[in-house]
Structure 1
Amino acid sequence: MENWFSAKIKPMLAMKSTPFDSEEWMYEVKWDGTRCIAFTDVKKERVRLQNRRLMEITYRYPELVEDLLLFSNSNAIFDGEIVVFKDGKPSFQLLQQREHVDSRFKIEILSKKIPAVYIVFDILYCSKWLINEPLERRRKILKDVTIGTKNCTLSEIFRGGDGIGLLLYEKTVDMGLEGVMAKKLGSEYLLGKRSSLWLKFKKKNTADCIIVGWLEGEGEREGKFGSLILSFYDKGEFVHAGQVGTGFTRDFIDWFYNKLRKIEVDRPVKIKKLPKFSRNVHWVNPVYVCEVEFLEKTKDGKLRAPVFIRLRDDKGIDECTQI
């Protein structure tokens, strides 16, 4: 990775965990947004934004491009989360508006109407590669080379001990936030790996699922989709996860229905545990990933009472493993 600015970087990922506290861990709020690697070349005044699927998303966030050149005083690669706030809390509905617009004119308007914030929690490069440096060292460098701006800020960290990890989790739950990240002190940054050195505490049961088809709608949804057919991707195989028919806005149904029609196919991919459907089924190429909330997982591996939260353009089908 000699040419740091044009590198393709897969971020380090966390595993799920029950909340705990330890002096050997560092804690921070888990923000509900889109993961983003930011390449900031202050000398040549250029910025690249890349999501976890290695897609270029720089054009979507002009307000961040401008701020990152003020945020950093050195050439650097940051890891963080892009968040859109409403009334002091992350709004995934507003974030979806930002992510699903391609018109340059509309992007410019939305960047002013509902601006995004880049919350930075790690630094991977600063004149040299830092991924093998311990977490504490990376955080110190991150603090030394940045200054807060209107749209870029550092994630606040809390050293574990005296119940801090558990207290922070309780506070985030009370505030309606997504959860907490716990990171092992002394840990290196493991590119593209999901590691137990990073753990996430989440109150809600959520899952990332692949959309493999839809069932025709009825009533006010007639002529559109009524529910989406979901699948996990486990050990190279698609496994039916259930259907989700709630959580959609009318605008989303209209917009996404047109997207689905463009990728419709005659036959589905081979899906294990697929039931027979009473309504007409339409199959699609498995390219879209969505996040759903659910009550529990049934004995046969299906999601009980799933509710659609959002599309996850930043995730690939290989990340939709069974939970």
Structure 2
Amino acid sequence: MGRAGAGGMPDLVPPMQAATGDLPSGPGWAVEFAWDGLRCIAYARPGRVRMLTARDRSVTSAFPELHVLAAKAPRGGVILDGTVVALDDAGVPSRRLLMRRTATQRPGATLVADVPVGFFVSDLLWLDGEPTTALPYQRRRELVDDLGLAEQPVVLSPSWPAGDAGHVLATARRYGLDGVYAKRLDSAYQPGRRSRNWLRVPLRQSRQVVVGGWTPASPDRPDTVAALLLGVPGPGGLRYVGRVGLGAGAPRAAVTALLPDLGTDDSAFAGEVPASVARDARWAVPRLVGQVEFTEWTVGGRLRLPVWRGLVAPEDVEDGLWDDEFADDERWDDGTDAQVRTVDLDGPEEPSPRPAAQAPPEPAAPAGPDPAARVQARRLEQHFVYNSLNTIASLVRTDPGRARELLLGFADLTRAADRPTDDTITLRDELDSVRAYLQLEQARFGKRLTSTVSSAPGLDDVPVTSMEVLGRVRSVVQEIVEPRPEGGTVTVEAAADGEHCVVTITETATEQSWTVRPAVATIT
């Protein structure tokens, strides 16, 4: 377990490490999300909390909001394995935001307020004077679930039985995560060891890349193509991100026919290309854009296991993909598990992330209270995200079917919040997001919240701005229903008004209503 401290609780428990592998088939396993953040072990006892990274560096003062663990710790102490996570405005873990927090050992009040963090707990190593590492994983999860920790800023990472693995993988992709963990239900926690009882299963991602050159099949045939040299444009120019081999067939023929005419003597890549690659490289004018699939970014900023999927037509090039967040900064290398990105506190602060998208202006509202005017329509507030995940985690054991439904709804909400501010969707999709949101809040409030959502026939395909209705519904729930001990009932009704669509939101307990006239909604 590590050396013992006061009261017998160890001062240090090296974290167990995951091996990389495929998703196991058959029973006997649990599946969790692989949260993108800073792996930490939390040592909590009444009145005191210590947070150590996987390299045993103290980050206790860097996360003052996590000192709440001291109030929940039993007299004999508790040791928790988890991940410190910072969420963006869409409720998705953000490496860049977390790096802003960890750029200083003692963040000021403004930084703590602007970039809050949470602790996503996944395992229990010590409980009230007794070690728990020898217990089976399934029992450790039951114990940690019963501790009553699930309250902002602490989240119990949902743990799903193997039968739900396909569902969890699909949700992780929709939520924007790059991997999941599979853990044997009967396995002990092995401090400091890497074990096949705990697997990290990376998810394949897809993105566009620029072709900056190629390596020939042989020096005697310089125009033949064995592998493409790939880059991604950024502020400093085209950045080398790896190479990819070409299979047979049309995708190979299409690119190899074009490359010889783009040959040049100078590399278009900013910075250095590995010497082993540059030695035989043939450089190309960076005019070709292709699509690749890969498992994840390595700590060196390279694509892991890329697969070439073909060229992208000029009209389909996605400018938004060029502003990417790389995992190449050395502060993401914890030195213990290259598959899990972590943060090192030594080093300068990263550039600030792109500012949160601003919501489109609301149409004029009727006289009377307008809570939506006081809420950012696009942001998924941190307390909502944490409450939703904790609610889902609690339902996995008691009502797994409902937990699955809520998890998919949660992933869809984060995707909706991540759309551009002027993105146009159908009224059907917008009302589906409203239903998903209300279902999550109903799971948390219980009988305190009831709701109905309906739409008149013929309105499903009416165009609306994303989150235009959802933003107002959220504010009604959060500012009108939630503070009232008896709760309330929210009704959402979409109806035609001439050539336009009108959505009426009513809170029946207070007899208040609000009207949303989607700016782009035209009935044809």
What range is the shorter-chain TM-score in?
0.5 to 0.7
Amino acid in structure 2 at the alignment position of 1:68: L
Aligned to 1:29: 33
Aligned to 1:116: 117
Structure number with higher strand proportion: 1
**1:245–1:69: structure 2 CA closer, same or farther, 3 Å change rule?**
farther
Aligned to 2:13: 9
Question: Is the CA contact (8 Å cut-off) linking 1:5 and 1:41 kept in structure 2?
Answer: no
**1:245–1:317: structure 2 CA closer, same or farther, 3 Å change rule?**
farther
**1:112–1:245: structure 2 CA closer, same or farther, 3 Å change rule?**
farther
Amino acid in structure 2 at the alignment position of 1:200: R
Tell me how far apart the structure 1 counterparts of residues 270 and 188 of structure 2 sit (CA, whole Å). Answer: 41
Cα displacement string for residues 8-55 of structure 1 (whole angstroms, at most 9, x for unaligned residues): 22211111122344321011111111100000011xx01000000110
**1:296–1:39: structure 2 CA closer, same or farther, 3 Å change rule?**
same
Q: TM-score, normalised by structure 1?
A: 0.65
2:299 counterpart of 1:296: no
Question: Is the CA contact (8 Å cut-off) linking 2:80 and 2:121 kept in structure 1?
Answer: yes
Aligned to 2:147: 145
**1:112–1:316: structure 2 CA closer, same or farther, 3 Å change rule?**
closer
Question: Is the CA contact (8 Å cut-off) linking 2:241 and 2:302 kept in structure 1?
Answer: no
Unpaired segments ≥5 residues, structure 2 = 206-233, 243-268, 280-297, 308-323, 340-524
1:128 CA drift (Å): 1.1
1:130 CA drift (Å): 1.0
Aligned to 1:252: none
Structure number with higher helix proportion: 2
Tell me how far apart the structure 2 counterparts of residues 95 and 31 of structure 1 sit (CA, whole Å). Answer: 12
Q: Following TM superposition, where does structure 1 have runs of at least 4 consecutive aligned residues deviating by more than 3 angstroms?
A: 70-74, 219-222, 226-230, 271-276, 295-298, 310-321
Alignment of 1:1-323 (within 5 A): 1-3=3-5, 7-42=11-46, 45-65=47-67, 67-74=68-75, 75-86=77-88, 87-102=90-105, 104=106, 106-126=107-127, 127-161=129-163, 164-204=164-204, 221=236, 290=299, 292-294=301-303, 296=305, 308-311=326-329, 313=331, 315-317=333-335, 319=337
Root-mean-square deviation (CA, aligned residues, Å) is: 3.5
Tell me how far apart the structure 2 counterparts of residues 141 and 54 of structure 1 sit (CA, whole Å). Answer: 25
Q: Quick one: percent identity of the two aligned structures?
A: 25
Question: Is the CA contact (8 Å cut-off) linking 2:33 and 2:181 kept in structure 1?
Answer: yes
Question: Is the CA contact (8 Å cut-off) linking 1:169 and 1:201 kept in structure 2?
Answer: no
Q: How many residues align?
A: 245
Question: Is the CA contact (8 Å cut-off) linking 2:134 and 2:188 kept in structure 1?
Answer: yes
1:272 CA drift (Å): 10
Tell me how far apart the structure 1 counterparts of residues 145 and 72 of structure 2 sit (CA, whole Å). Answer: 11
Cα displacement string for residues 176-210 of structure 1 (whole angstroms, at most 9, x for unaligned residues): 122211100110001111110001121147xxxxx
Cα displacement string for residues 267-287 of structure 1 (whole angstroms, at most 9, x for unaligned residues): xxxx996977xxxxxxxxxxx
Unpaired segments ≥5 residues, structure 1 = 206-218, 231-243, 247-270, 277-288, 299-305
Q: TM-score, normalised by structure 2?
A: 0.42
1:175 CA drift (Å): 2.1
Amino acid in structure 1 at the alignment position of 2:18: A
Bigger CA radius of gyration: 2
Tell me how far apart the structure 2 counterparts of residues 245 and 198 of structure 1 sit (CA, whole Å). Answer: 39
Cα displacement string for residues 91-129 of structure 1 (whole angstroms, at most 9, x for unaligned residues): 111011111123x3x443222211101000101011111
User: Secondary structure of 1:192's match?
Assistant: coil
**1:7–1:314: structure 2 CA closer, same or farther, 3 Å change rule?**
farther
**1:220–1:188: structure 2 CA closer, same or farther, 3 Å change rule?**
closer
